Structures are given as structure tokens and as C-alpha cells.
Chains A and B, each alone.
Chain A
Amino acid sequence: DGGITQSPKYLFRKEGQNVTLSCEQNLNHDAMYWYRQDPGQGLRLIYYSQIVNDFQKGDIAEGYSVSREKKESFPLTVTSAQKNPTAFYLCASRKQGRDNEQFFGPGTRLTVL
């Protein structure tokens, strides 16, 4: 069963804690992306990776970190430096190629208590 999985679905964090969100895909996609979505706002790009062991910052990378050690996996760490981390986090992936489409995982809803 091919697809993109994210875990956990819901995550609660105390202020000052780092947390890691998981994203895995078995679609053999090359590129993977992390977005955050806040109410009333569009999706904003945090980080993206086009190949293993390489990634680029998006528009709102401050307070976040990523790794891409395997093609299938692109975990996102929300650090304590992120001032307002409560949001819906979406992972996406796509096959490389100009017109190839981007598909999303189910998302992780992070709440800071």
C-alpha cells in the first residue's frame, strides 16, 4: 500500500522541549517537503530536500531542523527556538521532473502547552 505516512497524528509539547515529527514515503519519490499551516493562512514551506543528504531552507526555517539520510524518510525537528510552534505540519513528496505533482501525508497537529 503506497503512500506518505506521518506520525504522530497529534503531539503535545511543553515549552522548551524539542520534538521530532516523522515523515515516511514508499512511493520512490525523490523530493520531500515540510510545510506548516496556520488558521487562515496558506501553507508555508519550512524545508525541502531533492536528494538524500541534501536539503534547503524554505521561507520559515528558523527554529526547525531536518535530515535526509534515507530516500524514504525526512524527519522534522521543532526546536525550542521556534517561538510559535503550534500548527498543523504537513509533509509532502514528489517525483523529480518539471510537471510532477506533489502529494501530501495526513499531517501532524502540534500543540504547545
Chain B
Amino acid sequence: QKEVEQNSGPLSVPEGAIASLNCTYSDRGSQSFFWYRQYSGKSPELIMSIYSNGDKEDGRFTAQLNKASQYVSLLIRDSQPSDSATYLCAVKTGNQFYFGTGTSLTVIP
């Protein structure tokens, strides 16, 4: 059974702070890694993808991948109240995607 683990939270940060979200995965053969944001009652929205070790930045978001440690993280800089949502980590292995249960983030104004 391929597993993707996330801290369910809730994670609360003040507006303007850095939010750090973490994810570990069990299958060393996993190839691609994704972060989705899901607002309550809505479908997941892709915000970041990362495929090789290191950091990838896109605006206020930075994804970090460490394949040796089987660890993926997402940093959100200058957090805004509109960032309050559940963040899903997804891992692609073969032709399938495996999802964590999500981390609930609340940004406090």
C-alpha cells in the first residue's frame, strides 16, 4: 500500500507569516510530486509541482523535495487570509496519483 502522510493540523499562522506544510511518502519509486489547495466544498486546485530534488519557487509558494528522505514540503510566504484552505500533497507513482489526507491551514488576520 503506497502511503502519503500529512499532518492534518489545523495549522494556524498570523497574516504575513510563513506557513510550512509537510508531506512524507512511502514509495521510493515515486516520480512526481504535487501540492493542491482545496477550499471547503470545492475541488482541489493545483498550485505547485516538483520533480527533482531541491527547491522550486512560484510567487509566494516554494516547494521543496528531498527524495532521499522521501519528504516534500510547501512554504507559503506572506500568508494571506485567502490562503486559508486544506492543502493536499499528491505523489505520482507509475500511472496513479496517491493523496494525503490534507493539512488544514488558517491564516489569522
Which residues of A does B touch, CB under 8 Å?
31, 33, 35, 40-45, 48, 50, 56, 58, 90, 98-99, 101-107
Q: Assuming A41-B101, A90-B44, A103-B46, is B88 touching A48 (CB within 8 A)?
A: no
Other than A42-B102, A45-B96, A106-B42, give 9 A-B pairs with Cβ distance below 8 A: A31-B95, A40-B101, A42-B99, A42-B100, A43-B88, A44-B99, A48-B96, A101-B49, A102-B46
Q: Assuming A40-B101, A102-B97, is B43 touching A107 (CB within 8 A)?
A: yes
Residues B46 and A101 in contact, CB atoms below 8 Å apart: yes
Q: Which of B34, B45, B51, B102 has the most CB of A within 10 A?
A: B102
Which residues of B does A touch, CB under 8 Å?
4, 8, 31-32, 34, 36, 42-46, 49, 51, 88, 90, 92, 95-102
Bound: A29/B42 CA distance, A: 22
Which single member of A42, A105, A106 contacts B88 (CB below 8 Å)? A42
Tell me how far the C-beta of B89 lies from the nearest C-beta in chain A, rounded to whole angstroms. 9
Bound: A104/B100 CA distance, A: 16
Residues B100 and A99 in contact, CB atoms below 8 Å apart: no
Which A-chain residue is minimally distant from B6 (CB atoms)?
A: A42
The 10 residue pairs across chains A and B that have the minimum distance between CB atoms: A42-B99, A43-B99, A104-B43, A42-B101, A107-B43, A104-B44, A99-B51, A106-B43, A99-B32, A101-B49
